Chain A
């Protein structure tokens, strides 16, 4: 039984490679010889490849659940005392299993994409071939250098266990969400390549690409949020974003995908920016592969990165180079046919706002790319690794973010083509007044941080525009005789893209407010205390009650007892902990967080003394929960916007 599972896994991965290569050959022959039978064989290869990846995944899961330590990856990522959820999470807790999860997700996307393209046969063939090329690349890795079923002889009596950093419930969802986002970008990429090959960058391509990029965008957003939440709760440093290379790797494709979601509207409405939109899609997929290369190659160090694996790095780099060369080569080949159908008629129009938005998003992606790669570049050219760190990112990204925030308010209120002075006055007076008044009030209340003040004022401005749009739209329906709640509901339901977009904007502004407040106004303090002693942080009083030591399987637990007051009001008892994983000799924080809409109280047990004294670090982060809430709102808005709309009838 034990060896049987490993054998099945190895067979499935090897067969997967053969099937993917066969599928590429069959589809290519079908396209060049215009042979429907070969194309059908190629489509069948997609189904079979998916089934083989599912079989390999089932085999690996079985190996984990049966504690089959004769499989090297199982021995590296799990141990016999590991709870069930952590054992399942171990599947993607290391490089090889994570790649298999990637392949499994790709398989799912491929089956759905190829099936859904049946009504677009001319796009279906080239898209199938492109997806199979991606599948073949991952099959090469999985069947060779990253085979999760590589045997371990002799099998050890127990495994090494999952990396303690990953033993957190957020990790059960963060990697799958991130991969659903990353891998999902393969489909718009395949559609773009197919459209370039066939020359069909028409409204069909626009509609398909938009739909196929929103879904991975939602997952990528969720993945980024869950990663931030994990960082906040597990790493014990009190922050949620550190401009770490791996965080940046996931953020860059998000930025370019977001740019595409805006600029595709200009193509849809005005026939402009066709080549730009294709380039954004190619770039987005390229950045997902580049991000994966960063995580797996060992070129940059990160708390999130997998172990250094140079061969994997070279393979990714080779694939990425070929990918960019071929796809941008196709774009250059079609350049003449991609001339835009329209022109910008006025600087004050929605097109211009979207163009500015695109420039900011792409600039942000370049800024993040340069900052991330700076150590590699300085090492290559000057022989010294120089990290730019958060000050560089914050200095450049804060103004860009404020610009994007303002455009979120400006863009939707501008008409296409041209806006007149009267329209500007009518649309922007109230939101601008709200922003100015809000900023003045905040200033009077003592807010002096210029960056935060700008973000708050910008958020008020955008909120004003959203409220104005919603109220005016609802009034239109009320005038037709609908009751207010029904009018509001129908306004949203019948204009899902527009109002779903506003919900996304509202979520993003909540996130930006959360980030600005928690970054600008956080306070922290620490003290080494004897049981019964107190110290103050902001409006809080912290009383240290002493230490308690206990044991969990493989873990020494040290727990501090802390009581918290806000003024005279007792808020409760909290227990920040430190775990020490004996096998891995690794300490881990288990922070205690008291979260409210107003602020988070973040308690860390830093150190302790043998006589029961403890060092407690306390951080107060205002409005952090707005970041999480905003993320959820943005994701729900995007999901609402992508729901199929009722088909409009021509009259």
Chain B
């Protein structure tokens, strides 16, 4: 009795596992858009942190301006790439 139950469960598991293998599912293309998204988030966080560092007196005006210009340029480049048609493909 119990053997029959286990056999049935094993068959059901096998069917469930094997079913997709016989389908020609498309392999999702390697998408770099998520990497750009993550890079954009990181760039914005860096800018936000830099602003807070400056506002709380950890940076001189000159260092802050220089660092912000660098980070802004990096962020702009990322968002420019994200805005391009077909970005990440």
Contacts and interface: CB of A to CB of B under 8 A. Distances in A.
Interface of B: 2, 6, 9-10, 13, 16-28, 30-31, 34-35, 37-42, 44-46, 48-50, 52-53, 55-60, 63, 67, 75, 79
A119 interface: yes
B58 A423 contact: yes
B17 A48 contact: yes
A21 to B, nearest CB: 11
B34 A416 contact: no
Given A7-B2, A120-B34, A498-B52, A647 B27 contact: no
Contact of A207 (B19, B26, B41, B79): B41
Nearest to B37: A204
A72 interface: no
Nearest 3 A-B pairs (CB), nearest first? Answer: A36-B25, A40-B20, A121-B28
A358 to B, nearest CB: 20
Interface stretch (A469-477, A510-518, A559-567): A469-477
Contacts of A30: 27
B60 A420 contact: yes
A469 B75 CA distance: 26
B27 A39 contact: yes
A648 B45 contact: yes
B28 to A, nearest CB: 4
B49 A472 contact: no
Contacts, number: 131
A56 B66 CA distance: 60
A287 interface: no
A213 B45 CA distance: 20
A269 B31 CA distance: 23
A495 interface: yes
Interface residues of A, number: 57
A417 interface: yes
A7 B31 CA distance: 46
Nearest to B51: A476
Nearest to B50: A416
A203 B56 contact: no
A426 B39 contact: no
A268 B42 contact: yes
Q: Find the residue from B9, B38, B67 having the highest chain A CB count within 10 A.
A: B38
A650 B60 contact: no
Contact of A202 (B35, B44, B67): B35
B63 to A, nearest CB: 7
Nearest to A26: B21
A460 interface: no
Nearest to A268: B42
Contact of A41 (B18, B34, B40): B18
Contacts of B23: 37, 40
